[in-house]
């Protein structure tokens, strides 16, 4: 029999406050999932028919891929879902030995109870080696009657074509701001927190459609105060506030590069913000700058440059040097620079 933790979670108001909110408020059923309107109805149809093909979930982190797999298993198998569900992370075990031992051993055994098949959920499958993927493809063919595979990945292009052709591919998109905000409002209500509109906007801008990151930011700020404001976020979270980014870019657009650089250093030193966070905030704010301040052609040029900087940061380049270069480009593209 499954334990209490394996059944549908209790109502939000009855949950303890010490848990990690990402797990505490993870939807237990597909019916509870926010966003992904093009995907969830199809998965609910699989659950209703108690039949499904191999699946591939592709998309950015924090967009509900793992949540969808767990919710689908619960809807398919009910309270005994753990008996016929195995989750593996390919980042931990990415070689062919894992496929030939752990995966094969699980896939070849019959499902328990009245279930027609078992589910093996392989998270971060794009980390599997090419040799392991080739072996996995043969497993998917051979044991399809007893086991269905759900592969989750950030980059579907890293999955070999023979595996992709054997799966129904679902592409998860970053959550829309309104979907993230609805979830945050439910969590805040359940936890007895008051969140200001500016704080919500700051969390949405910092998360960039990543529900997990948004929830973690809310918990980080909410742990220290019952009332979450922009100042609370500024004190306890590293995510830059919109007004801080506006002030920094405003100084650069006014031709005051020294002031803009000082504001950038304040974000690094006083706030402890990471270069990726600041770059994401600049990217989110850039479209809202009036054309009278920054012409459309310069916006396009700057967006292209932001893409280059993002790649350099991912390769390990200096945060400060790269972000200073961004401010220099902003100042150079301002009409006042001439």
Q: Per the structure block, which two tokens stand in for 314?
A: 């991912």
pLDDT digits (tens, 9 = 90+) for 260-316: 999 999 888 877 788 888 888 888 888 888 877 778 888 888 889 999 999 999 888
Rg (CA), the chain: 23
Global pTM reads 0.75
CA distances from 286 to 26, 30, 105 (A): 32, 35, 52
pLDDT digits (tens, 9 = 90+) for 17-49: 468 899 999 999 999 998 889 999 999 999 999
Q: Which of 167, 76, 176, 91 is nearest to 132 (CA)?
A: 91
- The sign of the dihedral angle between the CA atoms of 329, 334, 336, 338 is positive
Q: Per the structure block, which two tokens stand in for 232?
A: 């609370």
E-strand ranges in 175-259 read: 194-195, 227-228
Following DSSP, what letter does each residue of 146-197 receive, concatenated? TEEEEEEES-GGGS-HHHHTTEEEEE--PPPHHHHHHHHHHHHHHHT-EE-H
Domains annotated on the chain, with CATH: 4-171 (3.40.50.300), 177-234 (1.10.8.60), 242-337 (1.20.272.10)
Q: Could you identify the residue written with the tokens 């028919």?
A: 49
Q: How far apart are the first and last CA of the chain?
A: 74
pLDDT confidence bin for 189, thresholds 50/70/90: very high
Q: What is the pLDDT of residue 16?
A: 41
Residue 170: phi and psi, rounded to 5, are -115, 125
Q: Are 47 and 116 in contact (CB under 8 A)?
A: no
> How many CB atoms are closer than 10 A to CB 274?
16
216, containing H or E segment: helix 211-222
CA distances from 237 to 232, 233, 278, 310 (A): 8, 5, 13, 22
- Among 104-113, 167-176, 252-261, the range with the most confident prediction by mean pLDDT is 167-176
CA angle 232, 234, 237 (to 5 degrees): 90
pLDDT digits (tens, 9 = 90+) for 64-89: 999 999 999 999 998 889 999 999 88
> What are the residues whose beta carbons fall under 8 Å from the beta carbon of 97, sequence distance 6 or more?
none
């Amino acid at each position: 029999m499954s334990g209490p933790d394996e059944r549908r979670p209790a109502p939000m108001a009855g949950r303890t406050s010490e848990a990690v909110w990402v797990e505490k408020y993870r939807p237990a059923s597909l019916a509870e999932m926010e966003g992904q309107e093009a995907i969830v109805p199809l998965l609910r149809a699989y659950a209703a028919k108690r039949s499904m093909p191999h699946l591939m979930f592709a998309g950015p982190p924090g967009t509900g891929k793992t949540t969808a797999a767990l919710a689908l298993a619960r809807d398919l198998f009910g309270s005994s879902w753990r008996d016929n569900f195995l989750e593996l992370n390919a980042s931990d075990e990415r070689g062919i030995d894992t496929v030939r031992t752990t995966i094969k051993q699980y896939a070849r055994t019959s499902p328990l109870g009245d279930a027609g098949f078992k589910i093996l959920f392989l998270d971060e499958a794009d980390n599997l080696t090419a040799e392991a993927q080739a072996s996995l493809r043969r497993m998917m063919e051979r044991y399809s009657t007893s086991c269905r595979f759900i592969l989750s990945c950030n980059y579907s292009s890293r999955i070999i074509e023979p595996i992709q052709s054997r799966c129904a591919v679902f592409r998860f998109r970053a959550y829309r701001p309104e979907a993230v905000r609805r979830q945050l409002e439910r969590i805040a209500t359940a936890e007895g927190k008051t969140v200001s509109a500016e704080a919500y906007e700051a969390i949405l801008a910092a998360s960039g459609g990543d529900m997990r990151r948004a929830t973690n930011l809310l918990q980080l700020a909410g742990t220290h105060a019952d009332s979450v404001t922009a100042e609370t976020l500024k004190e306890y979270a590293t995510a830059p506030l919109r007004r801080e980014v506006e002030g920094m870019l405003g100084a650069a657009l006014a031709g005051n590069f020294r002031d803009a650089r000082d504001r950038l250093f304040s974000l690094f030193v006083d706030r402890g913000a990471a270069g990726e966070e600041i770059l994401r905030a600049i990217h989110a704010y850039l479209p809202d700058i009036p054309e009278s301040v920054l012409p459309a052609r310069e916006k396009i040029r700057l967006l292209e440059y932001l893409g280059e900087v993002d790649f350099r940061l991912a390769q390990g380049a200096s945060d400060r040097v790269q972000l200073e270069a961004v401010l220099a480009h902003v100042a150079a593209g301002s009409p006042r620079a001439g």
